Each structure stands twice: as C-alpha cells, then as structure tokens.
Chains A and B, each alone.
Chain A
Amino acid sequence: MYGAPLTTTAEPAFEAWSESAPPHARGSIAGKTPFQLFWERFREDRVALAALGFIVLEIALALLAPWIVTLLGHPPNAQYPETLDPTYGTPTGPSRDFLFGVDTVGRDVFARVLYGARVSLQVALVATALSVGLGVVAGMLAGFHRGATDTVISRVIDVTLAFPILLLALGIASSCSLGNGCAGGLIKPGLSTVIVAIVVVNWTYIGRIIRGQVLSLREKEFVEAARAAGAGSTTIMFRELLPNLVAPIVVYSTLVIPQNILLEAALSYLGVGINPPQASWGEMLAEATPIFATAWWFFLFPGLALLLTVLAFNLLGDGIRDALDPKAA
C-alpha cells in the first residue's frame, strides 16, 4: 500500500471504532484545515444552511434592487398620489401593480422594502466590521500589555457598558442628525451617523471577550517561543495571537449583526436614523404603526423583512458557533 494516500488507509483494527462515524470522516484524522473541519460540521446543520441561503438571497436582491425596481417601474422614492384614496388620503393595499401596496405618500412598499434591505445590510456589515475591528484591537492591547493600558481600556469599556445603550445611541444620533452633522462635519446625518452610534455602543462586548482570551493566550508557549525568536509586540499580537482569536471573532460577529440591524431599525423608528426619503425598515414601521389597523400591508412587509433577516443571522450565528466549537454545543 506504499504510496497510497493516507486517507484511504484503514487499519482493520480501527474498523469497529469508526463504524458509527459518517463515511466521509472515516480515517480523516490528518490533513484537514480548520475550515474544512468547520464546513463539515456546518453543512450538517440544515437550519443554519437555510439561514445562510436566505441571507445570500437577500444580499443578491439588495444588490440587484436598482434593476428590480426598474423592471417593476416604481423607484423607491417615486410618489404615486393616484394610488391614495381621494377622499381620505389613506393608502391602498397590495395589487397587481403594487405587490406590497403603497405607503402614506403613495410609494411602492415593495420597492422600499427592497431598498430598506440595502440599508439594513450595509449597517449590518459596516457597523459590525467597524465595531468588531475596534473591539479586537482594544481588547488585544488591553490583554497583551496589561497594566496601565489595560486599566484605561477596561475602565472605558466599563463606563460605556454602564450607559443604557439605546439612550446613548439616541443621543449621538440626534446630536449628529441636524445641519451638517457633528465632529466638524466628519459624521454626516443619515447612514454614517447611525453607523457611528452603533460602533460607539457596540465595540465594548467584543473588546472584553478578546481581552480575556488574550490574557490566557499570552502565557502560552508559542508566544514565549515567538518572543525568544525576537518578535516584537505588534508581530506577536497580529501574527501569533490574532489567528487564535478567529473563532470568537467570527462567532461574535454573526451574533452582533442582528443586534446592529435591530439597533438601526430602532433609531430609524425613533426618527433619528436614516434621512427621509431614503427607505429603512425602522422608519417604515414608525410611519405604519399609527395606521396599522387600516393599512396592515405597510406594517407587515417591512416587519416581516426585519424579523426574517434578524432570525436568519441569529440562526446562522448559532450554526457557526456550533460548528466552530463543538464542545459548547
């Protein structure tokens, strides 16, 4: 059997042991990357796969939104006053022309839900990436250097965590939502304000988690080895420690995405988020709430979109965590 690939080798003595293992895992003791291991576990999780499929579909729809609305002929901000009841000005429900009905100014709810997905996904990805990036760097610095650096960063985290998140975000968003924004025009009203507000309140959790991980990792032998080999602090942090933090970062990110989507929706619902006439699910829900009893479609569709998206990201996050860390499952 000399020269045959390792994976086909099966010692009879091990037969009994591997009976219960799935066929593809048979003999797969060596030669797998962490990603392969992850993927093998993940693809068994049908719920997480469905969630992933939904998210991929949603991203595709959001990217294609401009073409889709061109096909339908109703741009998201175009107003069709003739679709409103001429006596009361109330919106009309789903029809052949307007699949999800129209809103209070006669705009196509379908087109706006579609464009709302763009806002939600942008916030989900950009705000999460920024807050995770900030949290990881701060957590690594605190955990690696300890001492005064740790004290300062940890206290800042403690103070930030002590704030009621929504109120803090509301404060930031409303002070930056007027005129030319805040911080000398750096933070413009609208999407960037929302993202900044979310990053400011959300980087702390990941910061704490990473700090804890680094505190234990920095005592490991491979760090000592790297240091003995002459590596500097930055090299050790980003070359040696960071790869070992991928699992918590990925897990945490997928779990924080739905939180961020909800936070954006909450801010827009409270009127300090996205600027009109740009569509956002939160803002649509805010406008739909008072007329819920008579215009259910205006409330239902953005609500459903928000619910499904958040659910999908949560399920995906759970699936990823289970696959990365079977012990926790």
Chain B
Amino acid sequence: MSALTRAFGRRRVAVTAALLTVVVAAVGAAAATAGSRQAGGTITVLSAGDVDHIDPGQAYYSFTYEISYATQRPLLSYRPNSINAIPDLASAMPKYSNGGKTVTVHIRPGVRFSPPVNREVTSADVKYAIDRAFSSSVANGYAGAYFGDVVGAPMKATKGVPDIKGIQTPNKDTIVFRLKRPDGVFTGSLGLLMTAPVPQEYAKRFDSQTTSTYGMHQVATGPYMIKNDSSGNINGVGYKPGQLIDLVRNPNWSAKTSWRPAHASEVLFKEGYQDPTVMTRTILSGSADVNGDSPPPPAELRSIMTSSSERKQLHFTPAGGSRYVALNTSKAPFDKLAVRQAVATVLDRNAMRLTRGGAIDGRIATHFLDPSFKTQGFAQSGGLAFNPFPSAGFRGSVPKAKALMRKAGYTNGMYSGPQVTMVADNSPPGSNTAQVVAAGLAKIGFHVKTISVTHSTMYTKYCNVPKNEPNICPNVGWLPDFHEPQAVLNVTFAGDAITPVNNSNWPLLNDPKINAAIAHARTIVSPQARWAAWGKIDKMVTRSAAAVPWVWENFPSVYSKRVTPAPELWNGGSPDVTFMSVSGS
C-alpha cells in the first residue's frame, strides 16, 4: 500500500469562523448567478509550480486535479462548494451487493474521446485506466491504497499492464468490481482521476514504454482538452512544462452528457509565479483570474480585507485537512509515549498558527478529523471539546509537560539525551513554524538540530523515506483524497501503510491496537458504524501523540472581478474552471 503526499504541496493559508460564514454565503450567491453569464472568453489561472504528473493515471496534487477534472471524466466527481461525489462518467451512484463485496457502476452513453481517438467511451476504457495504474510504466502512487482490495489487484507494480480479474466489464456500459472484503469507502476511490477512461488501442504504444508517455499524448473526455497536434501530442503544443498549460474546447464533448456548464472557450494555466504577492496583485489588477496553487500571503490578506473594493474578490474555503508535527515513533526519544505527550503539551499551537496567518488561517486543531466531517467522525471523536493536551490559549504548558517528562524518567523534567534532528522547510512560513517548534521543545530541554531544505525535498528525501527520517517533521500536513475519515487516518497512521519510499505515515506509527482498529473499520459498510469507528481511531491516534495537529486550515483564493468564483470545496478551495464564467466576453 502506498500513498503519495496529497499533502499540502503549497503554501495554503486562510480565516476566522465569523468571516467564513459571510464569504461562503457570498460565494453561494455568486455561483447562483453563474447560469445567466454568457459563454466564451479566456480564464487565466496562475500557479507557482507545475502539475505533479500530466498523466491522469498518476495525477495526485490538488493543482493537477484543477486541470484534469476539466479534461477528464472519472466515474464520479464533485460540483463546486460540495464535498459529496456525484456521478460524472457514471450514470448513477455505484450499487453495492454481495454483502458490500461487489460494486456495480454503469456509465453514461454518448461520451466520446477527444481527437485523434474520437470514438465513444465504453466500460472497458475505465477498466484499462485502472489496470494500467498498477503497471510499472505508469506507477500510480495510490492505486494500491484505494484499489488494493479488488480481487486480483497486484501487490506491487507489474511489468506491463495487468488484467485485474476483480474488475469485469459484462457489457459496454457496465463495470463490476469484486472486492476481497467489504469496503465502505470504495465509492470515494471512484472519484480519483485514475478511473478516468483511457482508450487501450491508442494508449498501449505509450504504456509499453519503460515510463509511459501517454500523459504527453492524452485524450480528453471532459469539456476541455489540452491543446494537441493532429497526432495527439501535447508536449510543446498545449503543455510547456513549468510554463503553460493551454486548455481548449473538446469538440467531442456534449453538454447533454454532463452537468458541467463549461462557459469559457479557453483556460490558460500560467506557471512560474513563485512570488505569491506578485501572483495576488496580478489577479487583483485583472491581468489574471484566479490563483491555482498558492494562496495570498497573510500580509496581502490583511491588505485585501481592509480594502472595501478588493474584499469582494477574496473567497475562503473552510478547512479540509490539518497540519501537524510528526514525531518519529520508531526511535528514541519519541518511541516513549510520555515523551511524545510532553511535546504535545509544551508546543505553543497559537504561536505556530501565527506563523501562517493567525486566526485567519483556521481553527487551532486538537485532533485529526477536522470540523468539515461534522457527524461523519468529527462529532464522534468529541468535536471541538476533544483536546487531550489542553493549555491556556493553546500556548502550551511547561509545568504539565515537565510532569510528563518526569514520568518518562527524566528526573528534573528536562530531556537529557542526545540532540534530536528535525528536517524543515527553508522558506517561510514553514521555516518559521519549525523555529517555533524548536523553541517549544527547548523549554523541556531538547536541543534541536535543524536541516533546512525546500518543502518538496523535505518530503521526498527525508520525511517520506523512513530510513532517512529525522526525529521531527514539523511541516507535514494532509488533505484527504475524498471526504471520508478513512482518507484522513488510514495511510497516515496505519502500520501496514508504512512504505520504504513515498511513505505518508510520517510518525511511522505501528501500534497494534490502532492497527487492529483501522483494519476493522476499513471493512465497515454501514456509514454510521463506520464513522463511529473512525471517530474512535481519531481519539486513539491523537492520544498516542505520534503527531501533534495544530491547525485545521482554511483556504483563501482571489478571483478577478470579471469571473464568477467556483471553489472546489473537496479540493482545498482549488478553482473549478468548468464552472467559472467570464463577463464581457
């Protein structure tokens, strides 16, 4: 099992509760008027970085979903401002039978691939898309995590595209999944991009290479396609890595088969906007329309919020994940429960949140399931009241932490072993958070040695690789892949989720009791029982202090005055370009 870091890839910032209500209401009102907008025009999205993978079979980052959800049709997807997946390529929601072990999905007729393929999509194209994700040439990072329970799913990437026996296509509009055990959240997996159809007869020559080049020759099913030449190549045509992604209308897309309005005639993703202040100002001035991967920095938020004209251009998406400090439980000193609990008690979460923008950034987190889970696990774990390591104003408590250190065997309550290592971001705000963490640890005697690297190096070279993992990873965070507690807690805390590379169980937590509870909860099909079980797991993980959550982060976006906002609630507030329209076009 493996999972890429659909972790906060980019700086994301945010808002107070009072503020939120106002803005969410405003977004709703704006979206309601969208229907009356005229079609046409070009939307320009700005981003600092590029997509993680252009191939929809590998795509994982939030930003990549902005592009691929406009060009690809997975079985399920989401409307703006919604966290619930609805049928997209599927004609109806999946049907469970056989005690939750068989899942049947029908697909819409009349959906066609973009040029040069041009033919109608069948269920076999969906099966091929999922099969190919397990091959070493595609090497999807999360296929095993979400489709590993399908009968016949390979345990690790195979040479060549496998024929997974548990995925059957009895006719051209039906696909049936047979599972080894009941899986309550399998529906959530069907909204992932790896379920978007891929035409085998066209893709196989790209997939037969060591590393598939289908991404550079992809065909679309959504309202837009990445601009290509007659052979289907997008490289240097509509895709200039690190610079530009140019979406044009897919001539074979029919509005009758889709609920996406797709107003604009073209969408440009301009990349390389490394400075978020410049990005924000470019959008506010009307030279671009929305931020794609980096939010406005706190100082900009403050300036926008105090300007009556710019204020209307700012939109907030409430929390969809949490940031936390991971403590490596596999080695001393954080293999001891009381030491970890002392850390959870001493850290000044208020100061940590201030490094990302104070109250506007979101609510201080006290456990892992965020408030957006409402009765789907959040309430079950105790809601806002569940705070096992309390302190006045979330500022941390030194006396209580020292008491825990004494319990762990440090006589005067101060740590006395060798210095601990930490791998942190080398740029704000992550570097500042790390400094607050180091200062907090110093209060109970820890001398922290910090290695400062870029955010992505922090993940790929250190915190995602157990053998290189330091004692502390202060800049990690998690956005669930879909709205189920399992997507928050499974790959991040289950012992069987630990992998030698691309690991997302950053604390390397391998607690038999927690493992057993997770293994059981994964098989519960009834929603109420499932949410109760995951609520309990949230409590167990939080009490283990393997990681210290500190903010349930909200996401601000800036839109230009000429477009209607359409934030994807499930995807950290990323803009849904298929719902945005341009006025005056």
Residue in B354, B360, B395, B431 with the greatest tally of chain A CB atoms within 10 Å = B354
Whether the pair A276, B427 counts as a contact (CB closer than 8 A) is no
Interface segment among A82-90, A116-124, A145-153: the answer is: A82-90
Q: How far apart are the CA atoms of A290 and B359 in the complex, in Å?
A: 20
Chain A 264-280, CB within 8 Å of chain B: the 1/0 string?
A: 00000001000111000
Chain B contact surface mostly: helix
The distance from the CB of B295 to the nearest CB of chain A, in whole angstroms, is 13
The answer to whether A87 touches B450, judged by C-beta atoms less than 8 angstroms apart, is no
> When each residue 71-83 of chain A gets 1 if its CB lies under 8 Å from chain B and 0 otherwise, what string results?
0000001110100
Please indicate the chain A residues that have their CB under 8 angstroms from the CB of B348 in the complex: 81
Residues of B within 8 A of A105 (CB): 351, 354-355, 432, 435-436
With contacts A87-B360, A88-B360, A276-B450 taken as known, whether A81 is within 8 angstroms of B299 at the C-beta atoms is: no
**A89 and B450 contact, CB distance less than 8 A:** no
Q: A88-B357, A89-B353 are in contact. Are A104 and B428 (CB under 8 A)?
A: yes
* Cβ contact within 8 Å between B361 and A89: yes
Residues of A whose CB lies within 8 Å of any CB of B are 77-79, 81, 84-90, 104-106, 177-179, 271, 275-277, 287, 290-291, 293-295
Contact B298 A276, beta carbon cutoff 8 Å: no
Contact of B302 among A77, A85, A104, A271 (CB under 8 A): A85
B299 near A271 with CB under 8 A, answer no
Say whether B439 faces chain A, with CB atoms less than 8 Å apart.
yes
Given contacts A81-B348, A290-B275, contact A89 B355 (CB under 8 A): yes
Chain B residues with CB under 8 A of A86: 354, 358-359
B residues contacting A by CB (< 8 A) are 16, 275-277, 297-299, 301-303, 348, 350-351, 353-361, 395, 426-429, 431-432, 434-436, 438-439, 450-453
Report chain A residues within 8 Å CB of B427.
271
Query: A-B pairs with the 4 shortest C-beta distances?
Result: A89-B358, A81-B351, A89-B354, A294-B299
Taking the closest CB of chain B, its distance from the CB of A172, in whole angstroms, is 17
Q: Which residue of A lies closest to B442 (CB)?
A: A77
Q: Which residues of A lie under 8 Å from residue B452 when comparing CB positions?
A: 177, 271, 275-276
B456 → A minimal CB distance (Å): 15
From A81, A177, A276, A277, give the contact of B354 (CB < 8 A): A81
> In angstroms, how far is the closest chain B Cβ from the Cβ of A201?
22
Flag if A104 contacts B432 (CB, 8 Å): yes
Instruction: Give the chain B neighbours of A177 by CB distance below 8 A.
Output: 452
- Whether A79 contacts B299 by the Cβ 8 Å rule is no
Give the residues in chain A near B303, CB-CB below 8 Å: 293-294
In the bound complex, do residue B277 and residue A290 qualify as a contact, i.e. CB atoms below 8 Å apart?
yes
Q: List 23 A-B contacts (CB under 8 A).
A: A79-B351, A84-B354, A85-B302, A86-B358, A87-B360, A88-B358, A88-B360, A89-B356, A89-B360, A90-B298, A90-B299, A105-B355, A105-B436, A178-B453, A179-B451, A275-B452, A276-B431, A276-B434, A276-B450, A277-B438, A287-B428, A290-B275, A290-B428
In angstroms, Cα B276 to Cα A293, docked, is: 13
Contacts of B359 in A (CB 8 A): 86-88
List, in ascending order, chain B residues with CB within 8 A of A106's CB. 351, 354
The smallest beta-carbon distance between B298 and chain A, in angstroms, is 5
Report the Cα distance A287→B429, complex, angstroms.
Answer: 10
Give Cα distance in the complex from A294 to B306, angstroms.
13
Q: Which residue of A lies closest to B356 (CB)?
A: A89
A163 to B423: give the CA distance in the assembly, Å: 32
The CA of A85 and the CA of B431, in the complex, are separated in Å by 19
Bound CA–CA A271/B431 (angstroms): 11
CA gap between A247 and B355 in the complex, in Å: 51
Given contacts A90-B298, A271-B427, A275-B452, contact A85 B358 (CB under 8 A): yes
Residues of B near A85 (CB, < 8 A) are 302, 358
For B358, list chain A residues within 8 Å (CB).
84-90
How distant is the Cα of A291 from the Cα of B298 in the complex, in angstroms? 9
Q: What separation, in Å, do the CA atoms of A295 and B303 have in the docked complex?
A: 12
A182 to chain B, nearest CB (A): 14
A294 CA to B358 CA, complexed, in Å: 16
- Within the assembled complex, what's the spacing in Å between the Cα atoms of A79 and B423? 20
Q: How far is the CA of A218 from the CA of B450 in the complex (A)?
A: 52
Q: Which residues does chain A contribute within 8 Å of B298, judged by CB atoms?
A: 88-90
Report the nearest A residue to B429, measured CB to CB: A104
Distance, CA A244 to CA B323, complexed state (A) = 64
Residue of A whose beta carbon sits closest to that of B358: A89
* Residue of A with least CB distance to B454: A271
> Closest residue to A86 on the B side, CB-wise?
B358
Residues of A within 8 A of B276 (CB): 290
Apart from A85-B358, A105-B436, list 16 A-B contacts with CB within 8 A.
A77-B439, A78-B439, A81-B350, A81-B354, A86-B359, A87-B360, A88-B357, A89-B357, A89-B361, A90-B358, A178-B451, A276-B434, A290-B275, A290-B299, A291-B299, A295-B299
> Across the interface, which residues of B come within 8 angstroms of A293, CB to CB?
277, 299, 303
Q: A81-B351, A178-B453 are in contact. Are A90 and B302 (CB under 8 A)?
A: yes
Q: Which residues of A contact B350 (CB under 8 A)?
A: 81
With A104-B355, A105-B355, A178-B451 given, is the CB distance from A277 to B299 under 8 Å? no
Distance in angstroms from B151 CB to nearest chain A CB is 46
Q: How far apart sit A248 and B307, CA to CA, in the bound complex (Å)?
A: 59
CA–CA, A80 and B560, complex, Å: 37
Q: Assess the B428–A88 pair: CB atoms within 8 A.
A: no
Contact A88 to B432, CB < 8 A, known contacts A81-B348, A276-B452:
no
Q: Which residue of B lies closest to A78 (CB)?
A: B439
- A290 is contacted by which of B297, B360, B434 (Cβ under 8 Å)? B297
Residues of A within 8 A of B450 (CB): 275-276
Q: How far is the CA of A220 from the CA of B435 in the complex (A)?
A: 60
CB distance from A105 to the nearest CB of B (A): 5
A287 vs B425: C-alpha distance in the bound complex, in angstroms? 13
Question: Smallest distance from the beta carbon of A285 to chain B beta carbons, Å?
Answer: 13
The closest CB in chain B to the CB of A293 belongs to B299
In the assembled complex, the Cα of A184 lies from the Cα of B442 at a distance in Å of 29
* CB neighbours of B451 from chain A (8 A): 178-179
Residue of B nearest to A294 (CB): B299
Cα distance, A173 to B234, chains bound together (Å): 39
Minimum distance in angstroms from B455 CB to a CB of chain A: 12
Q: Output the least CB separation between A287 and chain B (Å).
A: 6
